[in-house]
Structure 1
Amino acid sequence: MSIRMLRTLIAVDEHKTFSAAAEAVHVTHAAVSQQMRALEDEWQITLFDRAKRTPALTPMGRAIVAKAREVVRAYDNIVPSVISADALQGDISLGAVPTTLTGLVPVAMSRLKHAFPELHVQVHPGLTTPLMSQIERGTLDVALVSRPPVIPPAFDYRHIADEPLQLLAAKGTTCDDPLELLASRPFIRFNRDAVVGQMIEGWLQGKGIRVQESMELDGLEAISSMVYANLGVSIVPSSCVPPHNPIPIERIPLGSDAPVRQLGLVYRRDSLRLRVLEEIETVLLDSAGTDMPGPERHQTGGA
């Protein structure tokens, strides 16, 4: 067995076929097949059900893949784990929900780059659930997400900021009653696949509000642009770090019982790059305008 073979096994799981895995790890289809046979012979187990046209991982194979990810992750972190605390360097991958990409993330990453010029952060946008799946698979180191209802036991969650939800309306809107506006104007919905979208839907249902849905989007800039064009109203988080050139629209509070989106940093508890993750947490807290612990900062596991 070798790390190379384990990477190939993980690639087969991620890409579903030997051919796609071969392309991902830059070997031939025959080499992938040979490596998988070698692992089966060495371990004396069946990793793949070859009765199907496309070989599929057996239950034992899936369990082995999960352990293989842990081994490869530990191997990849051997050097970073022993680097001096004063010499943060190398690459780290940060996932981020799209609502943070025009305010909080660029401000925080600029501060991080200034403090640690040899540390290179690769930013990957995505929704909360897919980002957390990528952390689980080891393709991301850390992610800035909307706090999900359940945090996997293997994850740490660090609270960064609270963002109350607010109503967006076209510039010059004279009515400041969000319930009246939602009842009378077309509604531009925040993507329901996102945690924020689910929060909004729950609030609307709890208030008994039936909206006239006109479209469903997942980017603050896109939603704000539609509102600016007077195509409807929307509900979005009130960004803790507004963009430098905000679109001129009305931002109306939903009231004292408005839902609050919690932004937090998530990563695997067994990560060997905790020193880097602590620095990312620090710059995010500073950029969000708070260096005090939030209500759920340093929460681990559970929900």
Structure 2
Amino acid sequence: MAKISLTLIQTFYQVARLGSFSGAARELNLSYQSAANHVRRLEQILKGKLIDSEQGAKRISLTPRGRALYNLLHPELDIMLERLTKLIENQRSSLRVGMPQAIFYYLFTNILSRFREVFPEIEFAVYERDTVLAELVKNGSLDVCISERYFGDPVVPQRLLGSYRLSCVYPESWGELPDPQDIPSWAEGRPFITYEPGQTLRNLAVDFLARDGAIVQPVVSTSGSSSVKRCVAEGLGFSIIPSWCVGPKDHTIRSKKLTNLPEVRVYFGTAGFLQKHPMVQQLFDDCRRELVGPVLDPPRASELSLPPL
């Protein structure tokens, strides 16, 4: 088979997306005849008709093979072209990774060290986000995302890294905490500090504290676990944060692991066509090496059959 050029693929894609040769020609700054010739050439290479069009008709229709090809390309082609544009504009190789602020702040130093040993010339650009990570990968703004959300989006496939427990943290001066199942009752009337609306850990904490119908009204909400913990350390209230945020040097706060809450899963996601890229695979391997075991519980056998994997 003759080699298929990106130009032919892009022209067919725009014709199929816009429904006409003239629309694709305007989009790609081509003549009508050039757009038609590109599609005909692609049909010759693939040895099959992709588009039906009648003489003088303004709209085209896709053949079954043309529809299958378009569905294969959409929306991956848009993402790849956007990513190529950004790479050319930046003129420097980089790996753009999005993750919640706490994961980067508390867990990522060793991972970065390992990654830099293998790819010392690569800029590692971090976007500290909890929400919109899937959209950022899909529009080409991110290459990789590490998230506590499962998107269920085939364009952003995810692999399960592991899971962790949440802890209730509170000022040391408050004394002993009750058993985990009694914490919602204990929390009533106490100042609650948590994350910004929409963040995964805020939703989990509010659901837990409101189990008996209590009204949960935070007194402070902020973007990341380090800020939440700082407020707790200053005596402003209590919170529910990842257990790995609390260390032996945190003398002004106490914590109790909430074993009655489900473990929080952590997923590694990327654009589908980047899954086998050496940098992405290196980062995934480093995350498994540094996080799973010391910080995250490894996936159980029952979890290995879940959709993310």
Q: Which runs of 5+ in 2 are unaligned?
A: 11-24, 37-57, 60-72
Q: Which residue in the other structure is 1:59 paired with?
A: none
User: Could you say what secondary structure the match of 1:186 adopts?
Assistant: coil
Larger Rg over CA atoms: 2
Question: Larger strand proportion, structure 1 or 2?
Answer: 1
User: Could you say what secondary structure the match of 2:108 adopts?
Assistant: helix
User: Could you say what secondary structure the match of 1:235 adopts?
Assistant: strand
Q: Which residue in the other structure is 1:38 paired with?
A: 29
Which residue of 288, 293, 302 corresponds with 1:290? 293
User: Could you say what secondary structure the match of 2:188 adopts?
Assistant: helix
Tell me, yes or no, if structure 1 residue 192 matches structure 2 residue 197: yes
Q: How many Å apart are 1:142 and its aligned residue?
A: 0.5
Q: Deviations over 1:81-140 (max 9, x none)?
A: xxxxxxxx942111111111211122211121124323432111111x311111111211
Amino acid at match of 2:254: E
Q: Which residue in the other structure is 1:93 paired with?
A: 96
Cα distance change, pair 272–203 in 1 and its aligned pair in 2 (3 A): closer
Cα distance change, pair 151–248 in 1 and its aligned pair in 2 (3 A): farther
Q: Which runs of 5+ in 1 are unaligned?
A: 7-33, 47-63, 79-88
Amino acid at match of 1:217: T
Cα distance change, pair 2–294 in 1 and its aligned pair in 2 (3 A): closer
- 5 Å matches for 1:72-87? 72=81
In structure 2, C-alpha distance between the alignment counterparts of 1:75 and 1:298, rounded to whole Å = 34
CA contact (8 A) 1:77 1:273 kept: no
Tell me, yes or no, if structure 1 residue 139 matches structure 2 residue 141: yes
In structure 1, C-alpha distance between the alignment counterparts of 2:121 and 2:100, rounded to whole Å = 25
User: Could you say what secondary structure the match of 1:101 adopts?
Assistant: helix
CA contact (8 A) 2:184 2:209 kept: no
User: Could you say what secondary structure the match of 2:164 adopts?
Assistant: strand
Q: Deviations over 1:249-295 (max 9, x none)?
A: 111223x3213221121112222653222211111122214298524
Q: Which residue in the other structure is 2:238 paired with?
A: 233
CA contact (8 A) 1:203 1:259 kept: no
Amino acid at match of 1:183: E
Cα distance change, pair 220–207 in 1 and its aligned pair in 2 (3 A): same
Which residue of 106, 110, 113 corresponds with 1:107? 110
Cα distance change, pair 189–225 in 1 and its aligned pair in 2 (3 A): same
In structure 1, C-alpha distance between the alignment counterparts of 2:192 and 2:203, rounded to whole Å = 15
Alignment RMSD (CA, Å): 3.8
Q: How many Å apart are 1:209 and its aligned residue?
A: 3.5
In structure 2, C-alpha distance between the alignment counterparts of 1:39 and 1:125, rounded to whole Å = 41
Which residue of 248, 253, 256 corresponds with 1:249? 253
Amino acid at match of 1:152: D
Structure number with the bigger relative contact order (C-alpha 8 A, sep ≥ 6) is 1
Q: Which residue in the other structure is 1:160 paired with?
A: 161
In structure 2, C-alpha distance between the alignment counterparts of 1:189 and 1:293, rounded to whole Å = 27
Amino acid at match of 2:279: V
Q: How many Å apart are 1:75 and its aligned residue?
A: 5.5
Q: Would you say how many aligned residue pairs link Structure 1 and Structure 2?
A: 242
TM-score after normalising by structure 1: 0.66
- 5 Å matches for 1:243-282? 246=250, 248-254=252-258, 256-271=259-274, 273-282=276-285
Amino acid at match of 1:271: L
Cα distance change, pair 242–43 in 1 and its aligned pair in 2 (3 A): farther
User: Could you say what secondary structure the match of 1:189 adopts?
Assistant: strand
Task: Between 35-44 and 99-108, report the one with greater CA deviation.
Answer: 35-44
Task: Between 264-273 and 134-143, report the one with greater CA deviation.
Answer: 264-273
In structure 1, C-alpha distance between the alignment counterparts of 2:99 and 2:236, rounded to whole Å = 28
> Percent of counterpart pairs with the same letter?
17
User: Could you say what secondary structure the match of 1:99 adopts?
Assistant: helix
In structure 2, C-alpha distance between the alignment counterparts of 1:215 and 1:40, rounded to whole Å = 59
CA contact (8 A) 2:167 2:241 kept: yes
Q: Which residue in the other structure is 1:222 paired with?
A: 227
In structure 2, C-alpha distance between the alignment counterparts of 1:100 and 1:155, rounded to whole Å = 20
Q: Which residue in the other structure is 1:14 paired with?
A: none
User: Could you say what secondary structure the match of 1:118 adopts?
Assistant: coil
- 5 Å matches for 1:53-72? 66=75, 68-72=77-81
TM-score after normalising by structure 2: 0.65
Q: How many Å apart are 1:200 and its aligned residue?
A: 1.9
User: Could you say what secondary structure the match of 1:213 adopts?
Assistant: coil
CA contact (8 A) 2:148 2:264 kept: yes
